[in-house]
Structure 1
Amino acid sequence: MRLLLTSAGVKNPSIHDTLLDLLGRPIADCTALAIPTAMYGHPMAGPGAAAWEFIAGRSNEPMIELGWKSVGVLELTALPSIPEEKWVPLVREADVLLVSGGDALYLNHWMREAGFTDLVPSLTDTVYVGMSAGSMVTTPRIGEYFVGWKPPSGDDRALGLVDFSIFPHVDHPMLPANTMDAAEQWAAGLGGPAYAIDDETAIVVDDGDVEVVSEGHWKHFLADGVPL
């Protein structure tokens, strides 16, 4: 699986061009599945209008509205109650997964409960586009700074598909606490490498290679929280 890990969707031409490179063909030729689950666990999103705006392509964080051949909805909380043959083929056939922001640990919990994570090793040709929590869930840990919804395990572990953590929305006007100084303190407590990214930045993981694509600002931290 090739990963495009964003803070706020496909916000600028650089991230858009990178998505096209990962897909290897026009967006209009690709089928997508949207995963809104993370939104339900976050107090600033939740069910209702925000989830609809994401699915309908009416948000300020472009993902759904990019011109896909088709877009379906994969609601992870529903999957344990329906037969796998109803949804597993849809995941395998999708060209791209569009995973919304929200609460990363809530998303992590339902990815595991639904059996979605069991499919990940087989999705070698799929492009995964994460936004905020949808990106953070792929990391080893999200850090205590971002713990909201408490999982049954009680810790901040996520999927570990990549070997670094992500601090999104650096210097966002609606998130005044999300400063680069706060990101440096967060990184110091992780015990692993990390990136702090603003909304104009994305991290690309393709066949193990990691690249940052940005029209904004970002910082890479070593395992001890020291910035590179």
Structure 2
Amino acid sequence: MKFLLTSSGVRNPSIHSALADLLDKPISECTALCIPTAAYYFPEGPAIAYRLISGTSQGRLVDLGWKSVGVLELTALPSVAEENWIPLVKETDVLLVGGGDPMYLCHWMRESGFADLLPSLRSETVYVGVSAGSMAVTASFGENYNDRPVPTTGTETPLGLIDIAIYPHLNHPAMEDTQEANIATWATKVPVPTYALDDNSAIKVTNGTIDVTTEGHWKLFQP
């Protein structure tokens, strides 16, 4: 499996080119599944999910010209027969995993069986993450969420498919905690390299090789 880990979707031509490089055929010939689950942790989750599914979010994802796009809601999968969704995921070319809360997303990735399925997918499959969707496959969330008023069940940790951490939305004007100085402090407690990405940056991962694609600003913090 290959990865395109974005802060805010396909926001510029450079990220679009990185996606095209990962695919083994043109976008118009690729099937995609959109996963909005991470959004539902928040009160505004239904509106976030709608923007993702309808292609009206600021960062493009479902409206790139795919051959087909379906919606895979992880919270529904425990009540669905495996033969009704596992073959579909295995045959799909691209997984489009939206933003929201990364711990909530990881919980449902595991509870649904989706996390167990990921390592068995074809090497040509491309995982495209947005914000929390990108963070979910990394090795560490650091201590960002320790004060959350929710019980810890052990299923909220990241999947560890890539040995880095990601902090999205670097220097976003509406998000105080994404300022570079705050991220630098947070990164001192993270045991793996931390990539801080603004909304015009993304990470491409192929065969374990990490490349940063950007038309904006990014920063690497070593552990």
Counterpart of 1:226 in structure 2 is: none
Q: CA RMSD in A?
A: 1.5
Aligned to 2:97: 99
Give yes or no for contact 1:167–1:183 (8 Å, CA) kept in 2.
yes
Instruction: Give the Cα–Cα distance (whole angstroms) in 1 for the partners of residues 36 and 94 of structure 2.
Output: 14
Q: Is the 8 A contact 2:106 2:156 kept in 1?
A: no
Per-residue deviation at 1:142? 1.2
Number of the residue aligned with 1:206: 206
Equivalence for 1:178? 178
1:146, CA displacement in angstroms? 4.5
Q: 2-side partners of 1:85 and 1:201: how far apart?
A: 37
Q: Give the aligned partner of residue 78 of structure 2.
A: 80
The Cα of 1:144 is off from its aligned counterpart by: 2.1
Distance 1:62 1:97 in 2: 14
Partner of 1:62: 60
Distance 2:185 2:155 in 1: 19
Residues 216 and 192 of structure 1: is their aligned pair in 2 closer, same or farther, counting only changes over 3 Å?
same
Deviation at 1:155, TM superposition (A): 8.5
Unaligned runs of 5+ in 1: 224-228
The AA in structure 1 aligned to 2:124 is D
* CA contact 1:105–1:149 (8 Å) conserved in 2: no
Is residue 140 of structure 1 aligned with residue 139 of structure 2?
yes
Answer yes or no: is the 8 Å Cα contact 1:41–1:149 preserved in 2: no
> Structure 1 residues 34, 77: CA separation in 2 closer, same or farther (over 3 Å shift)?
same
Deviations 1:156-214 (A, max 9, x none): 62100100100100111221331111111111011221111100000111011111111
Structure 2 residue identity aligned to 1:86: N
Give how far 1:151 is off. Answer: 5.4
- Deviation for aligned residue 1:94: 0.5
Give 2:39's aligned residue.
39
2:169 maps to which residue?
169
Separation in 2 of the partners of 1:109 and 1:170? 25
In 2, Cα distance between equivalents of 1:174 and 1:140: 27
The amino acid of 1:127's aligned partner reads V
Query: Deviation at 1:153?
Result: 2.9
Q: What's 1:49 paired with?
A: 47
In the TM superposition, residue 150 of structure 1 has moved relative to its aligned partner by 3.6
Work out whether 1:27 is the aligned partner of 2:33.
Answer: no
- Aligned residue pairs, count: 221
Structure 2 regions of 5+ residues with no counterpart? none
Q: TM-score, normalised on structure 2?
A: 0.94
- Alignment check: 8 A CA contact 2:195 2:218 kept: yes
Q: Provide the rounded CA distance (Å) in 2 between the counterparts of 1:173 and 1:26.
A: 35
Within 2, Cα distance between the matches of 1:203 and 1:152?
29
Give the C-alpha shift of residue 24 in structure 1.
2.6
Counterpart of 1:214 in structure 2: which amino acid? T
TM-score (norm 1): 0.92
